[in-house]
Structure 1
Amino acid sequence: LQGDSLVAGTLVANDITDVKNMKMIGKIVLQKISPTTNDNWFGNNKVTNDSLNIIWAGGILNMENNAVDSVLTSLKITANGGTVNLGTVAALSTGNLSVNTAGAANITVGVGANTFVSGNLDINNSGTGAITQNTARQLIFNGIDTATYSSTGLAPVIHNITLNKVGGVKLNSPLALQNTLTFTRGIIKSDITNLLKLPAGATVSGAWDSSYVDGAVSKAGNTAFVFPVGQINKYAPISITAPSLASDVFRALYTHTNPNASGYNTAVHDPTLYYVSPVEYWLLDRINGASNVKVTLSFDSVRSGGIGSVADLRVAHWTGTNWMDEGNGGTTGNNLMGTVQSQNLVTSFSPFTLATSTNQNVLPVTLIDFTASKIGSSVVLNWKTTNELNLKSYEIERSKDGILFVPIGSVKAANLGAYHFDDASPLGGKNYYRLILRDKDNYAKNSPVRRVDFGKIVPVTIYPNPVHEYVSIRTEIETNTVLIVTITDQAGRTIGSSSFAAVAGSVKTISTKQLPAGIYNVQIRDVDGIIYFTRQIVKQ
């Protein structure tokens, strides 16, 4: 079976022995009825717009892939007997991937190369055989939309996963990963039942604010471990020191909500604690074993609230009746970001949160967003907050050099969540703005600084629009300036971002081949946050 084909309905081909250079549009079913022969299929094949369904009866099928095989919509592999080896030479790329076995059949994924899945991954092993990934290969979730992972029957053996998917992956079944998990982009959503399970020896790397696990993660083993958890676009890891046995299992989950909402009363605590965080908490449970470990909590001034004194931070543990002071056995970082470890080994578990021994860390308000925009001859400041407990006011300050700030106004905190302030008389040239968040005890913290320039307008041109494969951006800026181009979808999710050194007449070209048809926002700003240009583009 070779060459280009257009299938109006469904093409069913039985006992095909040579499939290569196939470029087909439509629904394709290739099935092996004779159960004893061995075949080498595939090379440089592409099925667009619809699906490819491969049914194997017995013997050995090697999908050689001496060039990339791709199925843009869905690929379904069903082995009712024998062995199917996927990707024996080069990469296999597909939208949805469905892998199914029955009887004693076996399927090995990524024999000689990585496997790319941009859609859902469904695995069904109803027999006694195995669905296995090559230990040296990666299963790479890529693309933009949110995908799901589901598994029934005997669990597959998956060794390595790379998450490079803007929309992330939702687990509809437990996912046991044997070796490595690499975070690049996107979030894994899990829960207590459908959780990410990591055995002894498994490693995790690359987690950050845009890529982590929103939900439950379990880890077995006798080595120290950092659980890659987070929520609301914030990485919020919790760590344990090494348990005693390789069979010990701990499970962690982070939630950015007030502990009081779950019955963990932050007003009831040991007398050595001055204040318990009403912003966030972690559930850390010992699932198997009896090991006691030290617990390390992370903090972030935006996520966790104001940190005035790192030395006064404490690890607090809910005992069922009150928050216990687990002490401060050491810290890292500064008042913007860092960690605090319990003083001693913890003997009982779940929940944990940050606390303070003094009044130096009592500003839990979280600044979600703060922007400064030039509107006509004025500057409009907008900001959003959560957890305005004990907050008195937002003081607005302005500077002409970003160093010396003077107050220009104040807005009373009213638990509204969203605020604005108009500066009707901005300075000529550069204007720097910041907020001072002040509580009723007169403790305060500063917001990030925003800049608005009332100097010369910089012309920016974007073309073509509508776009197909590429979009080009031309600037006429007079001095060499680093500009950042960000593309977002209509939901506000960042699709891509890149920077370039701009001078007069410079052109930045960005590939849009991988973007689905739709409307996107293009924003150009400098490293100080000044927005030069915002425009909608249409991808066709």
Structure 2
Amino acid sequence: MKTNFTQRKFYIVYALLVLSIFLSRKAFAQADLSFKNGTLKSAANTDKKVGAVYLYKNVKSGVDATVTYVAITSGLTVVTVDDPSGYDEAIQPTLRISPNTDGYLEMKIDFFVAGTNTPYTMPVLNATGVDIDGSSNNDGKGNPLYEWDAMNLGIGATNLAAGNGNQIAVTISGTWIKASNVSGVDFPGRDTSAKAVMYTVTNTLVSSFSVRTGVKNQSTQQSDRLASIYFKKFIYPSGGPLPIVLSYFNAFAESNNTKVDLNWVTEMELNNEYYTIERSQDGKNFAAIGMVLGSMNSTIRKTYEYKDNLKGVDVSKTIYYRVKQTDMDGNSTYSPIRSVKLSQKQNMIQVNPNPIVDNVTVKYMSDVSGAMNIRIINMNGQAVVNKTNSINKGFNSTTIANLGSLPKGLYMVEVKINGEVSETTKLMKN
């Protein structure tokens, strides 16, 4: 009896241990958004073809999404819209690629207030390409196949991937960030622990974005490949220590449109010699306009600022900025790109200081009088400040105090004039 009881106790403990591991993995893999049970919204004859629109209800509380097939290149067909294997919260089409073909499916994802056609803006969007693998001998004749994903989350998007680059290579063209398999190694199934064949693209204030999921088949054999776009941010192993940890970077036009203020914040610096500020008028070709010395080695938060006097700049066009970091060994890394459009209308918001510590002053130029509502919104979409003032035509200014207790991080400042959203901008809390 004692032996049987001991065995029974062992099996119970073992079962509980297995269950706890399973639940912890499920909790770890829980997505920010859940794309389940999509239904065809467009005409029946568009299913799995260009023009197809699929509706996903409640991808998060109070938010619906549509997935529109924008392009399907020659030699590629969509076999299933949402394959049941892998992660059911992800967008998971199965693609059939012809021999000797490089093809892709392009999808456009739009967010709406649930049950309406009113666009919804995600405070933060994390989109992860999962299982971007391949096959080094796809047809048994030594000819390879490589999968790839590309995402366009707009200006200012950043990306994370494994640092060694042995499995995938990440390239940027305009606002498209592409991850291509380069090894031809097949990773079975879809597994978010296989970080070597994943990458994550992140941006703030996203109401619509595009994804291309593709296959470069250099073999003589037709193949079906499983794609997976999963909505969660992951931590990736790095190939070595980062020279800096950049927690904030933004650019703002001054109220008279004669200068642009650039601010960035680092949490750590290692052998960091200097920063080069670069400017572009097309978002692609950048030129150096200034330099700021770095802090060499630092483990505390450092704040930097640079003012661009816009000399020789066509102020009618959007202006793009990035910061190039150079370490003592001559190696460099780049910040995300930020854009500034000098306002041609009178309505304009400015927040100072930015980043903030305790108080913030909101300045606004209005071409009407009435009521101005200011909301400061956190990255969960919650309004942590809601203040209404009367305003006059022309320049207005109001100070919001006692913000020191707010958690550190990124916020959105929204200004409504007479009930209509007029301007939004980003605010960093130190």
TM-score clears 0.5: no
Structure having the higher helix fraction is 2
Higher relative contact order (CA 8 A, sep 6+): 2
Which protein has the larger Cα radius of gyration, Structure 1 or Structure 2? Answer: 1
Please report the TM-score for the alignment, with normalisation by the length of structure 1.
Answer: 0.26
